[in-house]
Structure formats: C-alpha cells, structure tokens
C-alpha cells in the first residue's frame, strides 16, 4: 500500500498472468480449397467435400467440447485473447482471435475461428485476423497433400497479451 497526496489509500494489486494451452493434431485433405472469406475450421470428421470451403483439416483429435475445462473457462471471457499457431511441415502461421463470455464450446466434432463476432457451439475464436482465404498458400498446399497440421492454441488475457511468448 502507498499513501497518495490526498490522504486516500491506494491499493496496488499485482495481476497474475493467465495462460492456458491446448494442442490438437489433425490432417489435411486433397479437397481442402480454403476459399471461405470469414472463417476457417478443423473437424474430427474424416470426409471432406469441395463444399466445405472453410475446412482446412480433418481427423482432429478434439472438437470444441473435448477441450479442457480450464481452457474453455479461460476462453469464455470477454478479455480473453487466443493465439493459434497452425503448423504443417515447415510452414507456420499465428492467428490472433478474441474469446467471449458468449462462447459455449460444446460441439463434439468441430472448431471454428471467425472474423465476425458470431458465436455458436463450434466457435473457438471471434474477431480472427485470418480466414481460410487469407491463410498462406504454402500452408494450404501442405494441407492439400494430406500433411499433418499441429494446432497450438494459447489463451491469455488482454492485459498480458503483449507479455505472451506469442506470436
């Protein structure tokens, strides 16, 4: 505690850095076309048609409901920042998104990152700075060949995002 010049007591609180990480492995598919302009998705499903233009990987180990409770609680906050590193072969990209108190994360097979603020059971990030269409072509080419995709997601809070090891 420190006394201010006006005689009031100022309480100094040290903020504790919150950071929770989840890792998901999945695979690309020859039908990855990555043309969707507002989202990208990974799914536990193995089949992919060319209509799934937001899906970048199949055979995921987890859907939204399989994420740890600690991770889901951290992400379901309005001050949450989500850093997602997508790595296929030697190509890696970091996507920055926001969490939301409205996230329910209860879909059994899918995880979706959205540029918009729309949330549903599949949504893991809103306000994302990347979509299927804007991901690097080298990453998509690796996925089209069926390459393994490593998805590393780390949630921190807005106050500590600059201190994070990400991106």
Angle at CA of residue 161, ends 21 and 9, nearest 5°: 120
Reduced to 3 states (helix: H, G, I; strand: E, B; else coil), residue 64 is helix
Contact between 58 and 45 under an 8 Å Cβ cutoff? The reply is yes
| CATH of segment(s) 17-163 | 2.60.120.630
Contact between 57 and 30 under an 8 Å Cβ cutoff? The reply is no
The residue ranges of every structural domain in the chain are: 17-163
Q: Round to whole Å and give the CA distance between 51 and 81.
A: 30
Query: If you average pLDDT over residues 36-49, what whole number do you get?
Result: 96
Query: If you average pLDDT over residues 23-34, what whole number do you get?
Result: 97
Candidate from 31-35, 50-54, 122-126, 131-135 with smallest mean pLDDT? 50-54
Cα of 49 vs its chain's centroid, Å: 23
Query: If you average pLDDT over residues 50-64, what whole number do you get?
Result: 95
pLDDT category of residue 17 using cuts at 50, 70 and 90:
low
Query: If you average pLDDT over residues 97-126, what whole number do you get?
Result: 98
pLDDT category of residue 163 using cuts at 50, 70 and 90:
low
Strands 55-57 and 148-157: unpaired
Residue 58 confidence (pLDDT): 98
Residue 161 confidence (pLDDT): 59
Query: If you average pLDDT over residues 61-89, what whole number do you get?
Result: 97
Say which residues have a Cβ less than 8 Å from residue 86's Cβ, sequence separation at least 6. Answer: 56, 92, 93, 94, 95, 135, 139, 149, 150, 151
Query: If you average pLDDT over residues 118-128, what whole number do you get?
Result: 98
Candidate from 17-21, 74-78, 153-157 with smallest mean pLDDT? 17-21
Q: Round to whole Å and give the CA distance between 3 and 15.
A: 20
Mean pLDDT, the chain, as a whole number? 89
């Amino acid at each position: 505690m420190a006394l201010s010049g006006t005689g009031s007591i100022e309480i100094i609180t040290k903020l504790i850095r919150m950071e929770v990480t989840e890792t998901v492995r999945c695979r690309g598919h020859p039908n990855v076309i990555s043309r969707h302009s507002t989202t990208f998705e990974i799914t536990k499903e193995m089949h992919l048609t060319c209509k799934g233009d937001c899906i970048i990987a199949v055979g995921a180990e987890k859907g939204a409901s399989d994420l740890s409770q600690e991770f889901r609680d951290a992400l379901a906050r309005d001050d949450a920042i989500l850093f997602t590193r997508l790595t296929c072969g030697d190509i890696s990209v970091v996507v920055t998104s926001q969490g939301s108190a409205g996230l329910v994360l209860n879909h059994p097979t899918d995880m979706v990152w959205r540029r918009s603020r729309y949330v549903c059971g599949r949504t893991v990030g809103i306000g994302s700075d990347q979509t299927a269409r804007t991901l690097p072509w080298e990453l998509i080419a690796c996925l089209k060949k069926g390459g393994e995709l490593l998805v590393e997601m780390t949630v921190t809070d807005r106050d500590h995002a600059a201190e994070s090891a990400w991106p």
